[in-house]
Every structure is written in structure tokens, then in C-alpha cells.
Amino acid sequence: MKKIFLFFISLGLTFSSLMAKEFISIGTGGMTGTYYPVGGAICRLANKNKDIRCSVESTGGSIYNVNNVLKDELNFGFVQSDVVYDKYNGIGNFEGKSDKNLRAVMSIYPELLAFVVSKSSNIKKYPDVKGKKINVGNPGSGNEFTALTVFNEYGISEKDLSHRGVLTAPESPMALKDKKIDGYFYMVGHPTANITDAAISLPIDLVSIDEDVADRIIEKLPYYAKGVISKGLYDGVDHDTLTIGVKAVLVSSKNQSDASVKAVVKSVLDNFEEYQNLHPALKFVTKESLLEGLSAPLHPAAKEAFIEAGVLK
């Protein structure tokens, strides 16, 4: 009888402990991209907090994540800083649909636009896309928006392409291998398994943006910045690639609990060296860079965590 009594006490304590935990989800992207493994890295650190149980979800990326965070379908989401800016201000893809409940939690890493082409396509520069089969990106994605921004600055229209693809980034390497497309765009942290897999499947190259074109884009859209995808990151790409990029930003809504937001930020700050080693895209981030390119107001609980860590005054 005593054993049964102790068993039910133990069961009650276990149930009580589970009830005390706050369950949170982070919306990321495709499993071969960078959002998904980095989201998993953040959850791993957050789960060191006995009051948090963090899980990562593979999603359609920035647009999906920002919309579902604001619907409270996701607690947190990875979103490109340009998409954060547009949603908060109600411009671009979100014309007239501003949502001031959006909050930034922290910046993650720089995302740089990669224009991945098969070497057999003979695409050496952007104007070479005329008459080619190019996957611009799935409708409403950050990939599509940035690719079309670059095309517009070059004076390239969709009519110049023989095929305008709408595949997601995870679908693109296989399409490139099967010659259904000659090239595709991916705004991502580097290196990424997506492009590594493409390079294993066939000879690829990355196409640079001309510096004057990059400068004009940044003058019009200041949330972009120039960046370089270093040579040697991907098989067969033996040159640095000049491009533009944004920041990957972890966002929530203003309704997200202070305890969970502070726990997530604190888990990264308190285990920062471990965090940097969890994925190659995080290797060169600094505590200070976690506050760069946020594009929406910082959640008060995140601000509190940064102040307590001495990163923010």
C-alpha cells in the first residue's frame, strides 16, 4: 500500500512539473536550410531552463513565420529583417497590413543572397539569365522578393526568362540537377546544406552582383547591406561572391510571455561560446551583433536580458 501511495505522489510531482513548464515553438524554414538547425540550436540551449520546453518546427520561412507568430500559432519565428520591416510598417508584400504587435527578440546572423547556377548554363553575370530557366522563389517568400529586387535594378523582367520557377528553396537543388532549371535564388546563412547538396550533385557556380547595382539597391532599401560569400565554402566555387543581404531575426508578438522571451535570450547570452559552435553560420556573431538589423521594436523582456548581460545600457 505504501509503495502504491509513493507511486501516486511521484506521478503527481511529475505531472505538476510538466504543468509548470512553458511550451514554446520556434518556426524556422526548410530542413536543408540554415533556419532549421539554428532554431534547433537555440531550443537546445533554452531547454537547459527547467521552466521551458522548446521545440522547433520546419515551415515555409519568413512570410509564414511572421504571419503565424502574429496569429499566436507560433511563439517565435525566424524572419528576414526586410520582411520584419515591411510587416511592421505595412509596406511591400504587406501593403496596408501593418501589425504593430510585432516584436524583435534578437538578430541571429547575416543572410546573404546566393544565386546558384549550374556551370553548364553559362550564366556568369546577371544579364546572362535572359532566355534561361530561373527559379525566382515561391510566391511571397523572402527569396522571391530579394531576387526580383535585384532583377528590377538590372532591368530584367520575368518576360526575359524562358521559365520563371516558383519552387521552394528545398526543392531547388534537385530541380537544378534534373535540368528543370538553370539557376535558383536562396537568401540564407552560409554555409548551408542546401547549396552543399547542389554542389555534390553537379558542378555549380555562384553569381556576383555588380557593386554599383548593390549600392543602388542599398540606397533605396537601407535594410540591405553588401556581403561576400567566401570562396571555398562550396565545391567548385573558387571565387568570392559579392552580394547583398539582410539579417535573420528571431521575432515574437508583444503578447508573448516575458518569462519565455527572457529565457530564450538569456540562454543564448549565458552560453554564448557554445552557441557560436552549434552551427557554422553562428561562428562570427557577437553579443553586440544580436542587436543589429532588428527592423521592429525590441521586446521589453529581451531588452531586460540584454541590459542584465551588460550588452545594452
In a domain, 189, yes or no: yes
In a domain, 206, yes or no: yes
- Do residue 40 and residue 152 come from a single domain? no
| Residues 60-100: tens digit of each pLDDT | 889 999 999 999 999 999 998 989 999 999 998 899 999 99
For residue 289, the 8-state DSSP code is G
Q: Which residue, 142, 77, 148, 150, is CA-closest to 108?
A: 77
Alpha-carbon gap, residue 266 to 166, rounded angstroms: 39
Q: Which residue, 56, 50, 55, is CA-closest to 16?
A: 50
- Do residue 116 and residue 240 come from a single domain? yes
- Do residue 173 and residue 217 come from a single domain? yes
- Do residue 45 and residue 171 come from a single domain? no
What 3-state class would DSSP assign to 298? strand
The answer to whether the CB of 311 falls within 8 A of the CB of 291 is: yes
* Domain finish residue from 246, 272, 294: 246
In a domain, 256, yes or no: yes
Whether cis (ω within 30° of 0) applies to the bond prior to 191 is yes
In a domain, 255, yes or no: yes
Question: Scanning the structure block, which residue is given the C-alpha cell 528576414?
Answer: 80
In a domain, 295, yes or no: yes
- Do residue 87 and residue 102 come from a single domain? yes
In a domain, 301, yes or no: yes
Q: Which residues pair with 24 in a beta bridge?
A: 54
Domain count of the chain?
Answer: 2
In a domain, 209, yes or no: yes
In a domain, 39, yes or no: yes
What 3-state class would DSSP assign to 248? strand
- Do residue 91 and residue 193 come from a single domain? no
DSSP run (H or E) holding 71: none
Q: Which residue, 273, 274, 220, 264, is CA-closest to 244?
A: 220
- Do residue 139 and residue 48 come from a single domain? no
CA angle 246–261–43, rounded 5-degree value: 75
Model's pTM, two decimal places?
Answer: 0.74
- Do residue 145 and residue 20 come from a single domain? no
Pairing of strands 204-206, 102-118: antiparallel
* Domain finish residue from 199, 219, 246: 246
Alpha-carbon dihedral sign for residues 155, 156, 159, 164: negative
- Do residue 201 and residue 304 come from a single domain? no
The answer to whether the CB of 209 falls within 8 A of the CB of 224 is: no
Tell me, what's the pLDDT at 1? 54
Alpha-carbon gap, residue 51 to 209, rounded angstroms: 47
- Do residue 102 and residue 119 come from a single domain? no
pLDDT under 50 in the chain at which residues?
5-9, 13-18
CATH number where 219 lies: 3.40.190.10
Question: Residue 32's domain spans which residues?
Answer: 2-108+249-308
